[in-house]
Copies of this chain bind each other. A is one copy, B any other.
Amino acid sequence: MRTREEYLSIVESTLDEVLPKEDERPAALSAAMRWAVGTGGKRIRPMICLAAAEAVGGRAEDARYPAAAVELLHNYTLVHDDLPAMDGDEIRRGKASVWARFGEANGILAGDALQALAFATAARAPRNVPGIVAALGRRGVGVVAGQVEDLVRETSANGAKVLPADTVDFVYEHKTADLFMAAATMGGLAGGGDAESVEALRRFALNLGLAFQYEDDLLDGDSPWGRGETERRAADSTNAAVSALAELKGGAEFLREIARSLIGRKT
């Protein structure tokens, strides 16, 4: 296992390779796409993808295009979430959101182009491209489904907008866990993993995504089921994620480190 900086460098250099150059025509689109993807983020999803390739005995480099693909897809969802018709956020990661800087039409279009580029990039994996693209496509539909359900909100006793409890599971699985699952299964396939290993990676990522959301609720002191039930769910999901790792043949230290950094975080 290499340092986190070395893995991050694979992700950043691949993103830079596949994104259009700043002056590529039309320049407004190229600039907006690069603005959306930015630099210096944690790149959690692509890191999971690289780590998954190693966890099945492959090389991190085998998964560099799928890793860049899931980050491109994640970033298009953020660009569209920020639009005035959605959350209307003018700030993202401390700078202007894409629509606030480039206009609303370019915000829609830059997101659209990032999604197309994500799939073109995933198709450059060294093996198992049909399975890799199918996974990204399925989870790409799923993340939108989670977003549509998330728009259905109720007003709580104190006037806050909250999700109906029976909708929370669906939203957590799709809005968050779907792209974790895409990252893990694409990495496993790109690294040459067999069906059992890829399924173990999927279960790892599903439970990691759920644990991440429950921890978020505990940090915010705001949970649809109350603190005790949320703590139980967080512990169950964490345990399920850790036991899925035990089924993997390659070195899972990097996946374990990512899980620790996500689940044990204090902010």
Of the stretches A37-45, A137-145, A244-252, the one at the interface is A137-145
Contact B123 A144 (CB under 8 A): no
Contact with B along A123-143 (1 / 0, CB 8 A): 110000110011011101100
Contact A105 B123 (CB under 8 A): no
Residues of chain B within 8 A (CB-CB) of A119 are 119, 133, 136-137, 140
| A113 proximal to B (CB < 8 A) | yes
Interface size on A, residues (CB 8 A): 48
Contact of A104 among B28, B29, B85, B152 (CB under 8 A): B85
Q: Closest Cβ of chain B: how far from A266's Cβ, in Å?
A: 33
CB of A149 within 8 A of chain B? yes
Assess A120 versus B134: contact at CB under 8 Å? Given A25-B145, A29-B144: yes
> In the complex, A26→B148 CA distance in Å?
7
Beyond contacts A113-B144, A116-B144: 13 other A-B pairs, Cβ-Cβ < 8 A, are A25-B149, A76-B112, A85-B85, A85-B104, A106-B151, A109-B148, A112-B112, A113-B145, A116-B140, A119-B119, A119-B140, A124-B130, A124-B134
